[in-house]
Chain A
Amino acid sequence: MAQLSLKHIGKTYGAVEVIRDLNLEVVDGEFLVLVGPSGCGKSTLLRMIAGLEDISEGTFSIDGRVVNDLPASKRDLSMVFQSYALYPHMSVRKNLAFGLQNMRLHRAEIDSRVAEAARILQIEPLLDRKPRQLSGGQKQRVAIGRSIVREPKLFLFDEPLSNLDAELRVQMRVELAALYERLKTTMIYVTHDQVEAMTLASRIVVLRGGKVEQVGTPVELYTRPANLFVAGFIGSPKINMIPASYENGAARTADFPTLPLTGLPNGPLTLCLRPEAVTLDGGDCQAQGRVKLVEYLGADTLVHIDLPSGQSLLFHANGRDAQKAGQTVTVGINAADLHVFDASGNRIER
C-alpha cells in the first residue's frame, strides 16, 4: 500500500507546458481515477508517477520518500497499459513470470504466484497460449495478471479498457472493481470515460489543460461540481446548462422569467440542471416546450425539448414515458435542484 504526494508538479516538453502546478495527495489504499478530455495531461501525469517521464518541476513522494529521480523499477509499482504491452513471443505463463524473474524469486515462488494470479483472473486454461491467440478481454486479464503477480504497493492503469468493445468494457469494469475490493491496494486509473470514473473511483481527479479542476468522491463531483467544466464533464446524460441573469434580487432566463433564487451576485450566470431533475407539469417554475427527439434506451428514455427561446433541455424520463416528437409539454424546474455558476464558470454556493 502506498501514500502519494504530488506538490507543485509541472511537466514541459520544450516550450509546451503539459502539466502546471499540480498538487495532489493520494490516500493509502484508495482507487483514484484521473479523468479528463484528450490532451488534458492525465496519461502524462500517470507516466510521471510511474517513472517513465521526468518531472520538470515540483516534488513527488511515495510514503514520504521523494522519488523524483528514482527509476521506475525502484518505485515498487506496476502498470497496465492501454495496448496491454504483452510480449507477443512469450506464452501467457512466461508473460506473467517475466517480471518475477527480475526479482530473483525461487522457481516455486514464481510458479505459485503465476498460478494464483491465473486463478484470480480465471485465465488458467490460457497459460500456454500466445497473446495473439487471445481475445481483447483475455489479453487485458493477462496484462492485469502481470501486474498483480509482482504484488506491488501501487497499481497504475492507463486507459486499460479503451480497446475493448462496450460489453466487454462493462464486464472488465466489474472485474476491476472486484479486484480492488480483494486487494485494497492503492490504484491510480486513467480514463477519459466518466462512467468508468464514476463506477470505479474512491475519488476522482478531473483534469483540464494540465490543471486539476476538482478532486472529490463521485457523489461530490456529481452533486456539487466546482465549476462548469466539471458539471459538463461528469454525468451522463449531460447536464442542462441555461444562461441566466440576476438583477435586483431576481433571477431570470429567457424561458423562465421568475426563478425563486435569492442572494446571488448581480450579473450573468449559468444555471445547470441534471436531466433527471427536470419535471413535466410540476416544479417551482414552468415553461412551454416542444419535444424534438425521444431516445428510448430501455430502462430510461431521454427526451430532448426545445424551449421557445431556442434553448434545448434534456429530460430524463423513466421507462417508456409517453412523450412523442412534436408534442407540446410543460417543463418544470425546482430551484433547489439548480447548480449556479458565475460568469467565470465557478460554482456559487447557496
Chain B
Amino acid sequence: MRRFFRRNAAGYLFLSPWLVGFFLLALGPILASLYLSFTHYDMVSTPRWVGVDNYVYMFDRDRRFWRALSVTFHYVAIAVPLRLAMALAVAMLLDKGLRSIGVYRAIFYLPSLLGASIAIAILWREMFGLNGMVNEALAMIGITGIGWITTPSTSLYTIVILAMWQFGSPMLIFLAGLRGIPRDLYEAAEIDGTPKWRQFFRITLPMLAPVLFFNLVLQTIEAFKTFTSAFVISNGSGAPADSLLFYTVYLFNEAFKFFRMGYASALAWVLLIIIGAFTAVAFATSKYWVHYENERD
C-alpha cells in the first residue's frame, strides 16, 4: 500500500485540487442531501427523521410536484429535439465549406455562452412581453400579439425558443461529427444517383449516430435541469398558472423560499433518478440505432 502511494504520489498531488473539491463540495453535500431527504429540516432547527414520508407525500398528495413534472417533461420532449434539429441544420450549413467558417462558428456559439445568463432571461421576458419587440414586429404586419409570457398556453414555448437559440454547443459537436464522415461515401452515393434527402437519412444520420446519441443524452440532462430562464421569466414563481413551474424552480422554492430543505432534498433525488432512468433507457436502446465504426463484435 505504501509502495502504491509512493509510486503514485505525484499523480495524486496533481489530482488533489479536484479530489478536495469533489469530496468536500460534491460528495459531502450529495450524501447529506440523501440523509436530509428522509428528514424534516427547516434550516434552523435540527433535522428530524421522518423516514419515507417526504417521498410518500410527493407522490401521493403533492399536486404541484406532478404539475412540475408535467411541465418539465413537456419541455424536455419539445426543446431537446428542436434544439438538436436546429444544431444539426446549422452544422450542416457550416459544413458546406463556407469562407470565414471560424467567425460563423463563434457567432453561432455566442448564444450558448450568453443563454444561461440572467441578463438574457430578462431580455427574453421583455421581448415576449405584451409590449415587447415580438408584438411590435407582429404589429407591423397587422397582427395584435398577446402577452406570450403571461399567457399560460404560450409561456412554455417562449422558453423552448430560448433553448433552440442556444444550439451552439451541440452544433459544434455535430460539426465535428460531420467533418468525420468520409467524403467518398457521399461521392459513391452521388454516382449511384442517391437523392440528397436519402443521403441524409441513409448516410449522414447513421454515420452521425454516436454523436447524435452523445448530444441527445447531454441535452436531455441539461433540459431536465433547466432553471435560470424559467426562474427569471416567471419571476421565480412558475407563473402564469404554474405553466413555467419547472421541476428545478419548484425544488428551489421548496428549499429556499419555504425552507422545506428535507422535502427539497427528496425532490432532488427523484430528479436524479428520473435523469438516470432516461439515460439508462437511452444507453439500452442505443445498440439498435447507434453504429460505432470500431466496435468489437
Contact = CB atoms under 8 A, between A and B. Distances in A.
A78 B184 contact: no
Given A98-B194, A98-B202, A103-B193, A85 B188 contact: yes
Contacts of A71: 190
A51 B188 CA distance: 11
Contacts of A132: 293-295, 297
A51 B185 contact: no
Contacts of A74: 193
B291 interface: yes
Given A98-B202, A102-B195, A85 B295 contact: no
Contact of A102 (B198, B207, B295): B198
Nearest to B198: A102
Nearest to B186: A85
A98 B187 CA distance: 13
Nearest to B294: A132
Nearest to A94: B202
Interface string A100-143: 00110000000000000000000000000000110000000000
A217 to B, nearest CB: 29
Interface residues of B, number: 23
A85 B192 contact: no
Nearest to A98: B192
Interface in B268-297: 291, 293-295, 297
A88 B293 contact: yes
B291 A88 contact: yes
B182 interface: yes
Given A88-B293, A132-B295, A83 B182 contact: yes
Contacts of B190: 51-52, 71-73
A99 B190 CA distance: 9
B191 A79 contact: yes
Contacts of B294: 132
Contacts of B192: 73, 78, 98-99, 102, 150
B173 interface: no
Contact of B188 (A79, A89, A103, A133): A79
Contacts of B134: none
B199 to A, nearest CB: 10
Interface residues of A, number: 24
Nearest to A73: B193
A278 interface: no
Interface in B192-214: 192-195, 198, 202-203, 206-207, 209
Nearest to A103: B193
A72 B191 contact: yes
B203 A87 contact: yes
Contacts of A103: 193
A99 B207 contact: no
Contact of B194 (A50, A51, A88, A102): A102
Contacts of A87: 185, 202-203, 206
Contacts of A50: 187, 191
Contact of B182 (A85, A102, A150): A85
A72 B192 CA distance: 8
Interface in B163-201: 182, 184-185, 187-195, 198
A73 B191 contact: yes
Given A72-B190, A102-B193, A89 B206 contact: yes
A83 B194 contact: no
Nearest to B295: A132
A81 B295 contact: no
Interface of B: 182, 184-185, 187-195, 198, 202-203, 206-207, 209, 291, 293-295, 297
Which A-B residue pairs are the 7 nearest by beta carbons? A73-B193, A99-B192, A89-B291, A85-B184, A85-B188, A89-B206, A102-B193
12 contacts: A72-B190, A73-B190, A73-B193, A77-B191, A81-B184, A83-B182, A85-B182, A85-B185, A87-B185, A88-B293, A98-B189, A98-B202
